[in-house]
C-alpha cells in the first residue's frame, strides 16, 4: 500500500470526482495504466475520511492484487456483502475491475441491494463499451484521466515557478527546485518533452535509464494485459500477433500528428518490408489493421482525432490523425531524437486541450488546415502550433488558415518562440510554455 501522506494531489480530477460524491451514478475513472487512477481513488478515500466517514464504511479492492485474482462475480458479491455495515452508507472502491467477468451484474446488484456510493477504475475503454454500458446506461459517469500536464509535472518533480527580475528591470518566470537551484522554464519544459508525464517518473527522478525501465514496464503491461490477453469478446477480432502489433505501434509513434489511414499503415509496413518475415506474404487486411488500431485506442495508448470542415460545419470522414498519450512513451519507443519536435509539441497541446475540457478536432478551411478546433459549451478556440514564429514565412503559413475564418471566436498561435508581435490581425501569438502554465 502507498503511504497516503505521500500522495501528490491531482486536483483537476479529485475535484471532478468529489463533485459526484453521493450521487446515483457509478463513478468510472478511465485512462492508460499507471497514469494515476489508483492514487486518485486513494485520494478520494483520504477525502472521505477527512470529512468524517468511518473506516468501516469504506471497502477497497484492487483486482490486480493476488488476493482477488481468482474471484468470480459471485465471490465478489459475497466479499462485499460480508463487509457492509447495516444502516450505514458504504463507499466501494474497485480498482482494475475489468479483470472480473460479469462485473457489471455484480455492481448493479450493489446499487440495488445496498446503500452505497461506487467508484471504479479501468485501463480499457471496453469497460464502458456497448455491451456494458447497456447495464449502466445513464448510471455511470466517466472521469478520463491523463498523464501529468506540464504544470503537474513541475509540482510532482518539486519545481516551483517564481517571477524573477532581469538585469534590465523586466520580470520573467523561472523554476526553482527544492534546494533553491534555479532553472530556465525552457530547460524544465525540455525535460518534460523528454521524460513525459507518467507520475511514476517522479519516484525514480529525472534519470534516463530508470525512466526507460519504468516506461518499458508500462508499455509491456499495456500490450500484454490490455491488448494481447484481453478476453475473447463478442464480435471482437483477437489480437494475436505481437510482431504486427509492435510494428503498428511504432508506425503510429513515428507519425503522430500526420494524416494517416488504415490502408496507408498496411501499405507502408509492406513497402518497408516490415511485414515480410518469412511467414507473411502480402498486406494484412484493412480489417486486421483496424482491429489492432482499435485495441490501441481502447487501451488509451493512442487517441484519434477527426477532421471538421469549419465552413461546411460538419465532420469529415477523410483521414484523421493519432496522438500518443504520453510523449515519454514515444521517446521510449523511437529513441531520443530531435527530429519532428513540431509534432511532439502539437501532441502536448492536444492533450492539454482535452484536460481543459474541450472537444477537439482538426479544422479544415478550404484547402488549409487549422491544427485544432477546440469546443466546449459555448466557447470555441482555434489553435495553431509551431516551434517558432520568428520567420516571416512561418508566420504567413501559420496565420493564413486562421485568417480565413470569419467568426469572432479566439484564434491563437502557440510556439516556443512567439516572435516580437503579441498579435497579428487579432490572432494572438502566445508563448507555449506560459500557456501550458
DSSP type of residue 335 = -
Determine the pLDDT at residue 316: 75
Condensed to tens digits (0 to 9), the pLDDT of residues 366-414 reads: 889 999 999 999 899 999 999 999 999 999 999 999 999 989 999 999 9
Kindly state the percentage of the chain with pLDDT values over 90.
66
Please check the confidence at residue 30 and state whether its pLDDT lies above 70.
yes
324 forms beta bridges with 302
- Mean pLDDT for 213-227 is 92
DSSP string of 99-123?
GSTTHHHHHHHHHHHS-EEEEEEES
Provide the pLDDT for residue 322.
96
- Residue 188: the pLDDT is 97
Query: Cβ contacts of residue 272 below 8 Å, gap of 6+?
Result: none
* This model's pTM is above 0.75: yes
Instruction: Give Cα 25 distance to the centre of its chain.
Output: 23
Assign 99 a pLDDT band (cuts: 50, 70, 90): confident
Cα–Cα dist 250/50, whole Å: 45
The pLDDT value recorded for residue 126 is: 72
Answer with the residue of higher pLDDT: 301 or 131. 301
Residue 6 has pLDDT above 60, yes or no: yes
What is the DSSP annotation of 191-236? Answer: HHHHH-S-TTHHHH-S-HHHHHHHHHHHHHHIIIIIIIS----TT-
- Lowest-confidence range among 2-11, 47-56, 159-168, 177-186? 2-11
Phi-psi region of 298 (alpha: psi -120 to 50; beta: other; left: phi over 0): alpha
Task: Give the pLDDT confidence of 246-265 residue by residue, as tens digits.
Answer: 999 999 999 999 999 888 89
pLDDT band for position 20 (cuts 50, 70, 90): very high
**In terms of Cα–Cα distance, which of 278, 271, 216, 287 is closest to 246?**
216
Give me the pLDDT at residue 134, please.
Answer: 62
Calculate the average pLDDT of the chain: 89
Q: What is the pLDDT of residue 131?
A: 58
pLDDT in tens, 272-297: 766 654 445 556 678 888 889 999 99
Residue scoring higher pLDDT (126 or 198): 198
CB 268 within 8 A of CB 251: yes
Evaluate whether 245 touches 239 at the Cβ level (below 8 Å): yes
Highest mean pLDDT out of 116-125, 237-246, 259-268: 116-125
- Find which of 139-143, 166-170, 215-219 is predicted with most confidence, using mean pLDDT: 215-219
What was the pLDDT predicted at 168? Answer: 84
Q: Which range (21-25, 49-53, 334-338) has the least confidence?
A: 334-338
Note the pLDDT of residue 278: 40
Lowest mean pLDDT among 222-226, 335-339, 423-427: 335-339
Per-residue pLDDT band at 148 (split at 50, 70, 90): very high
pLDDT the model gives residue 263: 85
Amino acid at each position: 500500500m502507498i503511504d497516503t501522506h505521500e500522495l501528490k494531489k491531482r486536483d483537476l480530477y479529485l475535484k471532478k470526482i468529489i463533485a459526484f460524491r453521493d450521487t446515483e451514478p457509478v463513478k468510472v475513472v478511465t485512462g492508460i495504466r499507471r497514469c494515476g487512477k489508483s492514487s486518485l481513488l486513494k485520494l478520494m478515500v483520504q477525502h472521505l475520511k477527512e470529512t468524517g466517514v468511518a473506516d468501516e464504511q469504506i471497502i477497497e479492492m484492487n483486482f490486480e492484487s493476488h488476493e482477488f485474482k481468482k474471484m468470480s462475480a459471485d465471490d465478489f458479491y459475497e466479499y462485499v456483502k460480508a463487509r457492509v455495515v447495516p444502516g450505514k452508507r458504504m463507499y466501494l472502491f474497485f480498482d482494475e475491475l475489468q479483470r472480473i467477468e460479469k462485473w457489471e451484474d455484480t455492481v448493479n446488484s450493489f446499487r440495488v441491494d445496498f446503500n452505497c456510493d461506487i467508484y471504479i477504475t479501468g485501463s480499457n475503454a471496453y469497460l464502458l463499451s456497448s455491451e456494458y454500458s447497456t447495464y449502466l446506461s445513464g448510471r455511470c459517469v466517466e472521469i478520463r484521466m491523463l498523464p501529468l500536464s506540464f504544470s503537474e509535472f513541475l509540482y510532482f518533480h518539486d519545481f516551483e515557478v517564481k517571477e524573477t527580475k532581469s538585469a534590465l528591470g523586466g520580470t520573467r518566470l523561472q523554476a526553482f527546485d527544492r534546494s533553491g537551484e534555479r532553472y530556465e522554464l525552457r530547460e524544465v519544459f525540455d525535460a518534460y518533452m523528454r521524460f513525459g508525464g507518467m507520475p511514476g517518473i517522479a519516484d525514480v527522478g529525472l534519470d534516463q535509464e530508470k525512466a526507460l525501465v519504468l516506461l518499458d514496464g508500462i508499455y509491456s503491461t499495456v500490450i500484454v494485459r490490455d491488448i494481447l490477453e484481453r478476453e475473447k469478446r463478442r464480435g471482437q477480432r483477437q489480437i494475436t500477433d505481437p510482431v504486427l502489433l509492435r510494428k503498428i505501434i511504432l508506425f503510429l509513434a513515428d507519425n503522430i500528428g500526420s494524416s494517416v489511414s488504415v490502408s496507408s499503415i498496411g501499405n507502408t509496413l509492406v513497402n518497408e518490408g516490415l511485414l515480410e518475415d518469412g511467414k507473411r506474404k502480402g498486406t494484412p487486411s484493412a480489417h486486421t489493421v483496424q482491429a489492432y488500431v482499435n485495441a490501441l485506442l481502447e487501451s488509451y495508448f493512442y487517441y484519434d482525432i477527426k477532421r471538421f470542415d469549419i465552413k461546411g460545419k460538419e465532420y469529415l470522414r477523410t483521414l484523421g490523425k493519432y496522438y500518443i498519450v504520453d510523449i515519454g512513451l514515444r521517446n521510449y519507443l523511437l529513441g531520443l531524437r530531435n527530429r519532428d519536435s513540431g509534432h511532439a509539441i502539437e501532441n502536448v497541446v492536444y492533450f492539454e486541450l482535452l484536460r481543459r475540457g474541450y472537444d477537439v478536432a482538426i479544422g479544415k478551411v478550404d484547402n488549409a488546415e487549422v491544427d485544432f478546433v477546440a469546443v466546449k459549451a459555448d466557447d470555441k478556440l482555434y489553435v495553431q502550433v509551431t516551434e517558432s514564429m520568428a520567420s516571416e514565412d512561418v508566420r504567413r503559413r501559420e496565420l493564413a488558415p486562421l485568417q480565413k475564418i470569419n467568426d469572432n471566436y479566439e484564434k491563437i498561435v502557440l510556439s516556443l518562440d512567439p516572435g516580437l508581435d503579441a498579435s497579428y490581425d487579432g490572432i494572438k501569438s502566445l508563448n507555449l510554455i506560459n500557456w501550458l502554465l
